[in-house]
Amino acid sequence: MKYYSLNKKAPNVSFKDAVIKGLAPDKGLYFPETISPLIDNFIKSIHNYTDQEIGYEVIKQFIGNEIPKAALKQIITETLSFDFPLVDIENNIKTLELFHGPTMAFKDVGARFMARCLGYLNVDSKKKVTVLVATSGDTGGAVANGFLGVKNVEVIILYPSKKVSNVQEKQLTTLGKNIKALEVDGTFDDCQTMVKKAFLDPSITDQMQLTSANSINVARWLPQMFYFFLAYKQLKDKDSKLVFSVPSGNYGNICAGMMAKKLGLPIHGFIAATNANDIVPKFLQTGDYQPKPSVQTISNAMDVGDPSNFIRILEIYGNDFEILKNDLHSYSFTDDETRKAMLHMYEKFKYISDPHGAVGYLGCKLYQKENQDANCVFLETAHPVKFLDVVEPVIEKSIDFPPQIQSVIHKTKEATFISTYLELKSFLLDK
């Protein structure tokens, strides 16, 4: 399998090079040259396969022969080592819980897969790879956990000061070893801008090998296809009009769902449910894509004003706006609407949702006003314990710390505070 840059001004590369480089030299995101649909019989008999077997069938074409079959199966087994239950909420609305992994967020899947791929691909190299990543919350913890102790890999995580939850901050600042955290005086967009600038700075890249563990990296993005297939496996009525409502920030998750549909999964459509950062909803209304500075909300992982993966979505749909509009709906919701949805689910269905999942639920409800026959699944992307300061005042109930959180919550934070790109550059070159 070869990967090309979406800016079309860089050489095509192997899976290994796409993973290690992260971003193409022309600043473009990598995209697979070919996407071959899975055989119909696999989809029809998906309930007969284990989760790990499904993961292997879904991802193998994108790896090619660069990781041997046995090694790839082991990587997938270690990646999909926890459950992804589909939970009934109300008539024709279910949630897919993606928070049963080590850091209790959906990003555990992509981070664990990428860490193991990179560890395999770089195991015999004498050159250290530095994973440089920006996080709006959950990416940092998942990447820190996934890469902890991986040979020849150092991880540097940038996160916006006072804009992630206490649990999220502890998960990315307390592990030590090969994991380092930089607390940035700014927003997630500021963090992401610094990271992108570093990748394009020859004074840095001539001295060290940088790669990204954000969803711009193909090894972080593509395995997110897994749980769309795992949700379908659990559906009792597989002939229903299946629609996924995805809480969307950097749009890697919903983009992976669209890849799953491209592989043949019978998904009717997608809802990009978002907060006040409404770039995509406005784009679908006007046809004019206008990034803007992000706005801080209670669903902080979606506080993104310039979503990186939207260019991949456009590529999947051949940059045809009308075809994309047939598959994608997008709605923006306020913090007050989000809180009301959280309270409604708790009082009526005894379900405790985090704010991102609540936005996904709102997307289902709004879509079903005009599509009553749709069978909606919203992604519950993080455990509510990661957002105690938001969830507990809404439902007026204390949430106990699961074991995954108890293991880090009382540890001491270790982070370096920076304000400018020059400080990041100095940190990288002085390591």
Query: Residue 85 phi/psi, 5° resolution?
Result: -70, 145
Residue 238, token pair as written in the block:
């597989």
* Phi, psi values for residue 228, rounded to 5°: -70, -40
Contact 286, 345 (CB under 8 A): no
Q: How far apart are CA 258 and CA 14, in angstroms?
A: 22
3-state secondary structure of 223: helix
Distance from C-alpha of 315 to C-alpha of 73, rounded to nearest angstrom? 29
Among 107, 196, 261, 386, the active-site one is 107
Alpha carbons 83 and 97: distance in angstroms, whole number: 8
The neighbouring-strand residues paired with 4 are: 31
Tokens standing for 210? 């940088």
Tokens of 179: 């994991």
How far apart (Å, rounded) are the C-alpha atoms in residues 13 and 11?
A: 6
* C-alpha to C-alpha distance for 179 and 19, rounded to whole angstroms: 19
Verify whether residue 348 is a known catalytic residue: no
What 3-state class would DSSP assign to 30?
Answer: strand
CA proximity to 42, closest of 266, 317, 227 = 266
In what side-by-side order are the strands of the sheet with 129-134? Answer: 209-211, 129-134, 153-160, 179-184, 416-418
Q: Are 262 and 35 in contact (CB under 8 A)?
A: yes
For residue 80, give the amino acid letter: L
Give the chain's end-to-end CA distance (angstroms, integer): 35
Tokens for 6, please give them: 């979406």
Question: Which H or E run contains 131?
Answer: strand 129-134
According to DSSP, the residues that pair with 229 across neighbouring strands are none
Residue 378 contacts residue 245 (beta carbons within 8 Å): yes
Largest CA distance in the chain: 59
Active site residues: 107
